């Protein structure tokens, strides 16, 4: 699973969720950490 150019994906995600880039990156990092730990509870997180 490799992303050639993450910029369009990040732009689309930022537009869709209306989150600041810093918050988006934090959510992505948390999701990646949870995925790695195998503790994903739901694909969508409610802040």
Note whether residue 42 is domain-resident. Answer: no
C-beta of residue 14 within 8 angstroms of C-beta of residue 25: no
pLDDT confidence of residue 21: 75
Note whether residue 30 is domain-resident. Answer: yes
Note whether residue 29 is domain-resident. Answer: yes
Count: domains in the chain: 1
d(CA 35, CA 19): 21
Note whether residue 10 is domain-resident. Answer: yes
**1-47 pLDDT, tens per residue?**
555 555 666 666 656 666 677 888 888 888 888 888 876 555 565 55
pLDDT confidence of residue 39: 64
- 3-state SS, one letter per residue, for 1-47: CCCCCHHHHHHHHHHHHCCCHHHHHHHHHHHHHHHHHCCCCCCCCCC
Note whether residue 46 is domain-resident. Answer: no
Note whether residue 23 is domain-resident. Answer: yes
Note whether residue 13 is domain-resident. Answer: yes
Domain that holds residue 25: 6-37
pTM: 0.39
């Amino acid at each position: 699973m490799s992303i050639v150019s993450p910029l369009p994906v990040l732009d689309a995600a930022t537009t869709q969720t209306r989150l600041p880039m810093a918050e988006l990156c934090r959510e992505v990092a948390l999701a990646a950490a949870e995925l790695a730990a195998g503790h994903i509870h739901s694909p969508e997180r409610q802040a």
